[in-house]
Chain A
Amino acid sequence: MSLFIERLVNGLADGSIYALLALALVVVFRSTGQLNFAQGEIGTLGAFVVSTLTLSGLPVWLSILLAMVVGFVISAGVERVVVRPIEHRNPGAVIVALIGVFLAVNQLVAMFWGVDARGLPNVFPDQADDFVTIFGAPIRVARLGVIGVLIVVLLLLWLMFNKTRIGLAMRAVANNQESSNLVGIRVGTILVVGWGLAGAIGVLAAALLAPSAGLTGTLMLGPFLLASVAAVLGGLDSPVGAVVGGLIIGLTEAFMVGYVDFLGADMLFPVMLVILLVVLLLRPSGLFGSERVERV
């Protein structure tokens, strides 16, 4: 039982990180209709910024906040400088540009911070004796902290989308850009803010993952793939779906590695494929995604 609780919490904690990243993907998809390939890499870059800032003596939480600002600026810049001019001409070419951004950011990290792995201090207490006991299972505080961060981020996003003017504008733009423009919303600004927000969330996810996973240039490659699966599973235009999808994937991973010996961690993607196919063949737009009705 205690082992089960431990795996459950670990699964939820990993799932929270996928959920955060999936949220970022969903925010971008709702505004631009693109899967942001560079999302994970911007997060990795942010995590390296955190590492540099903490080494210079800043407290970890402040470093993460500053790195999130950096992530916001980079991601907003990508929207304004790379994506928008290309999208006007040919939406199909945006995918190539985003792959270009992915590659450039990935290698920029290698250029500035080298290719050696480094550690990153945890923002939550993470010493050997920092655990609480739940139903007899020792649970690390840092793991609970990650789940807490997801809840806080969700709360803030919910407040922003439902209680502020800019959130209202963002929902309007996600719904219909042209009409939003007609009622006086500055669509360009909203898109930049949406992408920036996604960049900041991506950095947060990377900074939470790096202490346990080790900070390398490929930190976010696997998590990005799993987060995309999570976002698609939940429905690419649904924030709720992203969170549910992320948690499903985190739990699947934890229980599969824990209980199904003959599969183990190596067979993660075949299992993901099966889950994805079962869900998508029943609901082609994901669990919570809205069906698009097309006129012929």
Chain B
Amino acid sequence: MNLPVRVVKGSWQNWLGRVVLFGGVGLFMFRAMNEWSRSGLGLLTDALIIAIAVTGLNLITGYTGQLSLGHAAFFAIGAFTSAMLVTGKVWSPFFTDNIWTPGWTMPVAAVVCFLVGMVVGIPALRLKGIYLALVTLVFTEAVRALFKYGEFEGVTGGATGIKGFGYLPPSWTGLDGRADLVEWFFWLSLAILVVVSILSAGLLRSRIGRAMVAVRDNETAAAVMGVNLFSIKTLVFGLSGAIAGVAGSLYALKLTLVDADIPIFGLFGSVTLLVALVVGGAAQNWGPFVGAMFYVFVNDFARGVGEAPSDAAILGWFVDSGTKINGLGGVTFGVLLILFARFVPFGAVGTMRMWRSKLVQVVPRVPAVAGVVAGRSSGPLGEEGSGSVDPTPSSIGAVESPGPIDPDRPDSPS
């Protein structure tokens, strides 16, 4: 049998692959649901919330190529929007009573973050690469400072933040109020992640999605071809921010408090989201999910190594049981990140897809015309498989494909 095996898109083999993939993820979730302790489920929920925010980041950084270190700001804005609405700290028109239920604050958070994101998108018209990353990073810290600013204390809670709200499961879920809070947030986050992923996949298949990839691969060329850079960048920044905002809102409702000093609302949060994106695989539809899972669980594992180093394989020889070494967890996580960047450079999903393409390739159903090279592009984060117009193979390792050029080839097969 010749490798790679070619599977026609939409054939039963292709569907089998999809079923195995989704089944595997479903099984993982199911096991996690049933066999893990409550804290394990809480961790899983955190990972899902991060995955939602990273899905947003993936749109602008992965697919449109605009490096953003500002998504913690949207996360924070979403969180504070929910907190301020639920606790009635902002003036609401027409009603004297506070009409906001926790669930309805999420769309509001999305709208607010969409508008802020559109404004943030304007500098992206002039700035590139690290310059844009730095401006968005300062934007994150600026937003954090504004939430902390003493003059706004009546609205944002100032330095102490806002406490005393939450989101109990509605009665139709059949969950039992406070007792099932962990389960409720798990299912809610999962549902939102699924919806957001489907919407984002749909967006990428649309005209806007093509324009995004064109802007990433070559901005000037895209503009020449008729892509309106202003509307694409502001729109995608807005959408991307809105998704991160929903994640932030969810985070606040789960945590039941917001405070500008929570690390994930600042520099640390922006870095977390970017690391999760790159580790999972930028411009990959499964990248955010895998990256967030990696980030949360490897971080937890590393912390465990720091708490009880005698349990870890090599350290056990040097350390007595029961010792705790300050900082060892962080060092472990840092070293794991370096090793990951070294050996899995295109992120888990990107690298797996590269390996898979050596074994199995999904080709379009159209009758084959031999000898066309499927070019692969490398954007700022080196993502692959976007179906670039450029036929020259890039350093990532283009794979010869016998298929014809298919104008409707989706960006992410399978």
Q: Are B149 and A95 in contact (CB under 8 A)?
A: no
Selected contact of B326 from candidates A85, A99, A110, CB within 8 Å: A110
**Cα separation A255 to B281 with both chains bound (whole Å):** 44
**Cα separation A19 to B379 with both chains bound (whole Å):** 32
Within 8 A of B (CB), among A253-296: 262, 266-270, 272-273, 276-277, 280-281, 284-286, 294, 296
* A108 within 8 A of partner (CB): yes
* B206 within 8 A of partner (CB): no
Given the complex, which residues of B lie within 8 Å of A111, measured CB to CB?
325-328, 331
Tell which of A29, A82, A85, A232 has the most Cβ of chain B within 10 Å.
A232
Q: Are B341 and A86 in contact (CB under 8 A)?
A: yes
Given the complex, which residues of B lie within 8 Å of A94, measured CB to CB?
341
Given the complex, which residues of B lie within 8 Å of A106, measured CB to CB?
330, 334
**Cα separation A296 to B223 with both chains bound (whole Å):** 11
Query: For chain A, which range describes its interface: under 10, 10 to 19, 20 to 34, or 35 or more residues?
Result: 35 or more
Q: Are B278 and A96 in contact (CB under 8 A)?
A: yes
* A92 within 8 A of partner (CB): yes
Given the complex, which residues of A lie within 8 Å of B379, measured CB to CB?
92
* B128 within 8 A of partner (CB): yes
Whether A103 contacts B334 in the complex (CB less than 8 A), given A91-B382, A286-B131, comes out as yes
Majority-rule SS of B interface residues: helix
Whether A277 contacts B123 in the complex (CB less than 8 A), given A104-B338, A269-B144, comes out as yes
Q: Are A82 and B331 in contact (CB under 8 A)?
A: no
Q: Are B151 and A35 in contact (CB under 8 A)?
A: no
- Cβ contacts B133-145/A at 8 Å (1 or 0 each): 1110111011011
CB distance from A221 to the nearest CB of B (A): 8
Q: Are A270 and B142 in contact (CB under 8 A)?
A: yes
- Cβ contacts B204-217/A at 8 Å (1 or 0 each): 00000000000000
Whether A273 contacts B341 in the complex (CB less than 8 A), given A284-B127, A296-B221, comes out as no
Given the complex, which residues of A lie within 8 Å of B201, measured CB to CB?
none
Given the complex, which residues of B lie within 8 Å of A107, measured CB to CB?
327-331, 334
Given the complex, which residues of B lie within 8 Å of A277, measured CB to CB?
123, 135
Given the complex, which residues of B lie within 8 Å of A96, measured CB to CB?
274-275, 278-279, 337, 340-341
Q: Are B328 and A269 in contact (CB under 8 A)?
A: no
Q: Are A109 and B130 in contact (CB under 8 A)?
A: no
Given the complex, which residues of A lie within 8 Å of B327, measured CB to CB?
107-111
Selected contact of A229 from candidates B126, B138, B378, B382, CB within 8 Å: B138
CB distance from A227 to the nearest CB of B (A): 11
Q: Are B338 and A82 in contact (CB under 8 A)?
A: yes
Q: Which residues of A contact B (CB under 8 A)?
A: 29, 35, 82, 85-86, 89-97, 99-111, 114-115, 225, 228-229, 232, 236, 262, 266-270, 272-273, 276-277, 280-281, 284-286, 294, 296
Q: A280-B135, A284-B127 are in contact. List 10 more A-B contacts (CB 8 A).
A: A90-B378, A90-B382, A95-B274, A103-B333, A111-B326, A268-B145, A273-B135, A276-B138, A281-B126, A296-B221
> Ordered nearest first, which 3 A-B pairs have the shortest CB separation?
A104-B334, A107-B330, A100-B337
